[in-house]
Structure 1
Amino acid sequence: MIDYINISSSIDFIKYHGGICVLDTQQDSSMDFGLKDSIYQNVFVNVDAYEGLESAFLGDSLKEAFRIILIPSGIDQVLLYHHKEVIAKFLDKGGILLSFGQNYKEWLPGNSLYQVSQTPLKNRKILTCKHPITMGVRDYDITYRRGVCGFFSRGYFNPPKNAEIFLKDNADCCVGYIDRDSTNGVILSTAGADLFGYGLFEQSTAKRLGLNLLIYLAEIVKERC
């Protein structure tokens, strides 16, 4: 059993260091991902990527850059591709980047681009690997939603060399990885899997993914302070 009594201290620590910037090109898509749910205690800061992408990654005269930036799955990837040098600078300075996208443009260092699984959805299972982010999460709860497969992720990445894989499918393909080698920063990338919103509104262990991730991110920030 995982004790989340002290989750507020992890969230407060992240908020003290600027919170988690959610880059948005969908007119407040954060609502779609459950990011405004009270469980997350306002740790997320929504930023219009068309107006504030560069200042979010690199800072400006008014404020410093964010330490943690989240790229939701519905973002305009052409915009990200045109600003890939900005993203690279953010990571080279030690930034933490979370990407939940089905990447079809080469904007993310080390990423191999999204591939659709050839395993039929009814036969495909998502499996947790032993990792702090997946502690207490049942494979069934991320494979199935109300008895139906495919909502969490329908594809995979070929992970970068030396990446930590924390989610995979039953064909041993990578669904989620952490890359500390491609840049000076930390990249967490999933193949279309929303770690903060999935299972949040159901009686499911999948909702632990978001809480575990916040605890994990707080530890990474502490390492880099």
Structure 2
Amino acid sequence: MSTVPAGRFLFLKNTAGGLPAFFPKLAHHNFDIIQQYEADRLDWSHYDAIILTTHSDQRHLMELSNRFNAYLEQGGTILFNGHVVQAFLPELSFFKPLPKRGKFDLVVHREKEHPAFDGIDSNILSFRKGVSGFYGRGMNPPPQGAEILNSVGPDHWPLDWIATRPSGGRIFMHAGNDIWGFLMIGSSQNLPLVQRFFDWLSASSNQKPATQIV
């Protein structure tokens, strides 16, 4: 019997279609998918994490800022993918692109070993068929005290980071296209990498479902 707790995740989409094809194949976890503009009708308190894709309408996210803050204060996790253009949470700052974008200016560096990236070498994230820059080309600057997991470029700009509030609520930031696509690295055989990522999200959840978030 698995010791990994079953995770429940809210996936807010802003494109046609459903979940990425491999999500339903992940063991233990449940994904509720809903259009972003319907999100305010749900009780978020049941979810270990809310997943925001790179296609999110950030102007609309600004309208939900109070609800996101309440969810974080309850211990929830927000997984953000993309470039911040609307700072809908106090921990967020606008995206900054790298000034240089040559092949070796876009190398990804592992700043800290972490269960979210277990089994993933930074070289795999840096290059795909000899080309760099797919994983990230800049940063959403982290707040003071954030845990830096991966960086990019010769100056090690923070690319993946976690900001945790005193309440236990946290923001997992990936300043690029949706992270699960890179964990798959173009092959269904890499599903275990995505599995381990969401296993970590579930096992480390600080969510304390006590009151409805409205």
Same fold (TM over 0.5): yes
2:110: which partner in 1? 128
* Residue 118 to residue 182, structure 1, CA distance change in 2 (3 Å): farther
Cα offsets for 1:144-201 (capped at 9, x unmatched)? 1222111111111221111111111132110011111376511111111432221525
Structure 2: tracts of 5 or more residues without a match: 210-214
Pairwise CA distance, 1:72: 0.7
Q: CA RMSD in A?
A: 2.8
Aligned length: 206
Contact 1:164 1:179 (8 Å CA) reproduced: yes
AA partner of residue 126 (structure 1): V
Contact 2:11 2:51 (8 Å CA) reproduced: yes
AA partner of residue 54 (structure 1): D
1:3: which partner in 2? none
Pairwise CA distance, 1:35: 4.7
What is the correspondence of 1:11-30 to structure 2 with a 5 Å cutoff? 13-14=6-7, 19-28=8-17, 30=19
TM-score when scaled to structure 1?
0.79
Q: Please identify, of 168-177 and 192-201, the stretch whose mean Cα deviation from structure 2 is larger.
A: 192-201
SS at match of 1:26: coil
1:163: which partner in 2? 146
Contact 1:122 1:149 (8 Å CA) reproduced: yes
Inter-partner Cα distance in structure 2 for 1:219 and 1:38: 18
Inter-partner Cα distance in structure 1 for 2:190 and 2:123: 9
Cα offsets for 1:49-106 (capped at 9, x unmatched)? 112x1134x45xxxx5423110011111111012111111111121111111211001
2:126: which partner in 1? 143
What is the correspondence of 1:21-170 to structure 2 with a 5 Å cutoff? 21-28=10-17, 30-31=19-20, 34-36=21-23, 38-39=25-26, 43-51=30-38, 53-56=39-42, 58-59=43-44, 65-123=46-104, 124-129=106-111, 130-170=113-153
Contact 1:137 1:206 (8 Å CA) reproduced: no
TM-score when scaled to structure 2?
0.82
Contact 1:133 1:166 (8 Å CA) reproduced: no
* Residue 82 to residue 106, structure 1, CA distance change in 2 (3 Å): same
1:200: which partner in 2? 184
AA partner of residue 137 (structure 2): R
Structure number with higher relative contact order (C-alpha < 8 Å, ≥ 6 residues apart): 2
Inter-partner Cα distance in structure 1 for 2:14 and 2:177: 18
* Residue 139 to residue 204, structure 1, CA distance change in 2 (3 Å): farther
Structure showing the higher helix proportion among its residues: 1
* Residue 217 to residue 150, structure 1, CA distance change in 2 (3 Å): same
1:191: which partner in 2? 175
Cα offsets for 1:117-168 (capped at 9, x unmatched)? 1121412101123222222211111011222111111111221111111111
Contact 1:138 1:206 (8 Å CA) reproduced: no
